[in-house]
Amino acid sequence: MKSAVYTKAGQVGLASIERPQIIEADDVIIRVVRACVCGSDLWRYRNPETKAGHKNSGHEAIGIVEEAGEAITTVKPGDFVIVPFTHGCGECDACLAGFDGSCDNHIGNNLGGDFQAEYIRFHYANWALVKIPGQPSDYTEGMLKSLLTLADVMPTGYHAARVANVQKGDKVVVIGDGAVGQCAVIAAKMRGASQIILMSRHEDCQKMAMESGATAVVAERGQEGITKVREILGGGADAALECVGTEAAIEQALGVLHNGGRMGFVGVPHYNNRALGSTFMQNISVAGGAASATTYDKQFLLKAVLDGDINPGRVFTSSYKLEDIDQAYKDMDERKTIKSMIVIE
């Protein structure tokens, strides 16, 4: 069969290679109908260290099931399917929480799919493939394009909006005007954002985003871009969707948010930030800061205390007069009390 192979940095060729075969019981062989090039493929394409003959890193396709391993119960030869860039098992804690992109069982098997080829061997296929009704010939070319986006860029744009918890009425800023950024605009609109600003310097991308639901475009970058966004929104954004993967894009995203805002980032990290890199691999959300004492007290905590529903006061295991303040610190420092209360009368 024909398959794309990297020839050298900045060049991809075509090679005639063996058609893949079923190896594991949960493999599926798929005849590709449409594949595509991902922004992340370009990182390898450009890499001066890419060796000739290295298979392509394509990982997005739609196609027809050609052959299914004996453990496969969900699809059969002839089925038209979305071939996602992930291999969720559908059973682990991560998959059950809707994070099959970081499946606890198949982590590390997500990319490098060699999908720019006539046939694909797709591992762990039983739960991960998504059936499309009918056959490719039933659809227009435009619809086939949209179905193809469901292999990666549309779910990825959606993921940014979901993990940033975009809600009805939110003011949202999208960083990155490529395919994923465009899909993030669509996702923000699906979730009911009231304002969606795309940061973009390219006229074609700006136009596409405005047609998909963006309400404004900001071409400026850095501090100038942040100021422009805040002018348009009359303040900071509720959510920022980072769809690039550079430190500058992360800074831009954090910069446009009001305090208490939410960043969803799906650009594959191309920066040395250990904290963000490690949470990205695990799809873990990280949030914290000073508590909203006034809000929580007024809304429910004071009532819960007065009603006797909770008894947080038990943390004060010792009480002191103000005159004994030194002892109050010392006892707490030495763990003789969990927390020292000062009685002032």
Binding to a second copy, residues 139-168 (CB under 8 A) = 141-160, 162-165
Q: Which two tokens stand for residue 326?
A: 């030194």
**242: β partners:** 175, 265
Element (H, E) at 157: helix 153-163
Under the criterion CB under 8 A, does residue 203 sit at the interface with a second copy? no
Distance CA 283, CA 56 (A): 25
Query: Within positions 74 to 113, which residues make up the interface with a second copy, using CB under 8 A?
Result: 82, 84-86, 88, 90, 92-95, 97-104, 107, 110
Kindly state the number of chain residues that form the binding site for a second copy, as judged by CB under 8 A: 159
Query: Within positions 33 to 52, which residues make up the interface with a second copy, using CB under 8 A?
Result: 33-39, 41-42, 45-46
Q: How far is the CB of 272 from a second copy (least distance, A)?
A: 11
Dihedral sign from CA coordinates of 267, 268, 274, 280: positive
Which residue in 28, 65, 75, 179 binds a second copy (CB under 8 A)? 179
Contact 26, 69 (CB under 8 A): yes
Site string for a second copy, 246-285 (x = CB under 8 A): --------x--xxxxxxxxxx------x-xx-xxxxxxxx
Under the criterion CB under 8 A, does residue 301 sit at the interface with a second copy? yes
Which residue in 12, 28, 65, 173 binds a second copy (CB under 8 A)? 12
Amino acid letter for position 168: K
Contact 257, 236 (CB under 8 A): yes
Q: What is the bridge-based pairing of β-strands 339-343 and 80-83?
A: unpaired
Q: How far is the CB of 202 from a second copy (least distance, A)?
A: 7
Q: Which two tokens stand for residue 319?
A: 């009480």
Under the criterion CB under 8 A, does residue 118 sit at the interface with a second copy? yes
Under the criterion CB under 8 A, does residue 32 sit at the interface with a second copy? yes
Which residue in 19, 76, 270, 339 binds a second copy (CB under 8 A)? 339
Under the criterion CB under 8 A, does residue 72 sit at the interface with a second copy? no
Q: How far is the CB of 24 from a second copy (least distance, A)?
A: 18
Nearest to 345 by CA among 317, 330, 323, 315: 323
Contact 264, 243 (CB under 8 A): no
